[in-house]
Structure 1
Amino acid sequence: MSILQSLWMIFASASFAAMAAFVKLSSEEGASLGAIIFTRGLPSVILIWLWVMLDRQHRSFRTPRLKSHLARSIFGVMSIWCGFYAYAHLPLATAASLNYTTTLFITFWTLLTTVVARSALQVLAVCLGFMGVLVVLRPSINAQDWWAIVVGLFAGLSATGAVLTVKRLGQAGEPVWRTVFYFSVSVTVIGLVAFLFSNNYIADLNAGFYLLGTGVFGLLGQLGLTRSFSYGATVLTATLQYTAIIFSALLSLWLWDTEIDLLSWLGMLVIILSGGLCAYATKR
């Protein structure tokens, strides 16, 4: 995996961390879940459509891989809905930790299904990174939360299906922008239906601005993630997803004055070390 593909994943992680901050700000301003999901997809649809219209001779929405796009969209939408459900019904740290089980699922699936030898260092790096996530977030689990925990795990599992489908589309030569476009269309349609049934329309300019930020940074993150998983080493790319925790912690410090204690800084250091270790193991 080239350094460029690693940088794409780090860029995606930073963008998704910013998107999550805008989601939280939107929610604090009273935006409904349907509105958040709708605006998560709409800017991507509009901007990519305009970009394609500027050069219709060389760009087209037509694809011979419609079934793969449909599968990617189904997995992605399920992941978003289940993930938001977990965030709504579990402590933030617990829901976020469940979200990052995706990296573990991807690694184990890769180990089981590929003939490429995986070193013990790669597996160690993935597990070490997840331990770093747990140290930073320190999730708590209550017996009555079992259903929300199952849903949160299903979000991670669904995201795994989405990522692996993205990888397959990239290997088949499908352009990054087209993969992001079809996924964004499905998110926008589902979000619009939920938004219209919520009877919670946006009247606050602050909420509108935060929702726009959600969509723009969601687009940037999706482009970076799709590019990285399409052309990069799967396990290393998955491990670099953990860096989103670092960006989220720094944004929380800036926007909400959330204290970052020594243990959290150590956890972030572990996450950085896990990325370096996995990169070293991949290059060997």
Structure 2
Amino acid sequence: MVVAGLCFGVMGVFVKLGSAGFSTAELVFYRCLAGFLFILLVALPARRPLWVPWPAMKVHLTRSISGFVSLMLYFYAIAHLPLPTAVTLNYTSPLFLMLLTALWLKQRPHRGQWLAIVVGFAGVALLLRPTLDATQWLAGVVGLGSGLLASVAYMNVHELGRLGEPEWRTVYYFSLVSSVGAGMVMLLQRAPMTPIDFDNVWLLLGMGVAATCAQLSMTRAYRKGKSLIVASMAYLTVVFSTLFGMLIWGDVLPTSSYAGMLLIVGCGILSSTMLRKG
């Protein structure tokens, strides 16, 4: 999950750079298309089966659709809210995952898991310092929706691991569904598509490679580990993204942001300690 967090941070850099020339739907489309093509080029020569029986396929579809809609809602929130607020709302997903695990799966989280997730979210709030105007309530609800649907996707990723589904096939179906969904949104847009040339193709390639590595790493983490422990370590993405902002764009952070980073790192250490014990 640490590797996934780093790769998601790198992906965010390319998304930020690419957003100056590409629309949201285009970025989502190219992000997911890269993963789809990569998995396809690896799986077909190796003759790995892409089709699965219906019980597993149903979970694949639930994971893929919830993940895609969550991604679109997240990008909508980014477009209509301050970036720190949109990120904070999206990272409510571990809190929702904890509630879904207790209510849906009837699995009561340990005290340490509650503590790790709450401490991590407090660190995110301190680091990003979100704000929300009264007129932005709809975008705020959309941002919360992205976090809720992301938790549904993560729970289904864990279920796919329990069913024995490999990481590459989980990423394959998510990339396929998201590429088709984003492609349909692109077709409905009235604005012409941004042409791809030598000046911007490297942004799309970098975003696609980073996103695919992040998806594969995250899927393996949820497949092999305990969902709530893995979810609490997902907050490290915020730390990596913030550090990239400081190094590349010269962002200046207040003292509270550094305190937030320490809380997030402490959340990761607490989670890894529970992982070794469990």
TM over 0.5: yes
Q: How far does residue 117 in structure 1 lie from its aligned partner after superposition? A: 5.0
1:24 paired residue among 5, 16, 28? 16
In the alignment, residue 119 of structure 2 is paired with which amino acid? L
CA RMSD of aligned residues (A): 1.5
In the alignment, residue 7 of structure 2 is paired with which amino acid? S
CA distance in 2, matches of 1:185, 1:113: 28
CA distance in 1, matches of 2:207, 2:183: 15
In the alignment, residue 234 of structure 2 is paired with which amino acid? Q
CA distance in 1, matches of 2:231, 2:80: 26
CA distance in 2, matches of 1:70, 1:46: 18
Match of 1:15 in 2: 7
Tell me how many residue pairs correspond in the alignment.
273
Q: How far does residue 43 in structure 1 lie from its aligned partner after superposition? A: 1.3
CA distance in 2, matches of 1:93, 1:192: 28
CA distance in 1, matches of 2:66, 2:157: 11
Superposed CA deviations along residues 90-118 of structure 1, whole A, max 9, x for unmatched, are 00000000010001111222233455553
Q: Does 1:216 align with 2:209?
A: yes
Does structure 2 retain, via aligned residues, the 8 Å contact 1:202–1:208? no
Q: TM-score with structure 1 length normalisation?
A: 0.91
Unaligned ranges ≥5, structure 1: 1-8
3-state SS of paired residue (1:247): helix
1:77 paired residue among 68, 75, 83? 68
Match of 2:51 in 1: 62
Does structure 1 retain, via aligned residues, the 8 Å contact 2:101–2:108? no
Does structure 2 retain, via aligned residues, the 8 Å contact 1:34–1:193? no
Q: How far does residue 207 in structure 1 lie from its aligned partner after superposition? A: 2.7
Match of 1:238 in 2: 231
Percent identity between the aligned chains? 39
1:163 paired residue among 145, 154, 173? 154
CA distance in 1, matches of 2:104, 2:223: 17
CA distance in 2, matches of 1:32, 1:203: 13
Q: After TM superposition, what 4+ stretches of structure 1 lie above 6 angstroms from structure 2?
A: none
Q: TM-score with structure 2 length normalisation?
A: 0.93
Unaligned ranges ≥5, structure 2: none
Match of 2:119 in 1: 128
Worse-matched range after superposition: 98-107 or 121-130 = 121-130
- 1:144-163 to 2 correspondence within 5 Å? 144-163=135-154
Match of 1:206 in 2: 199
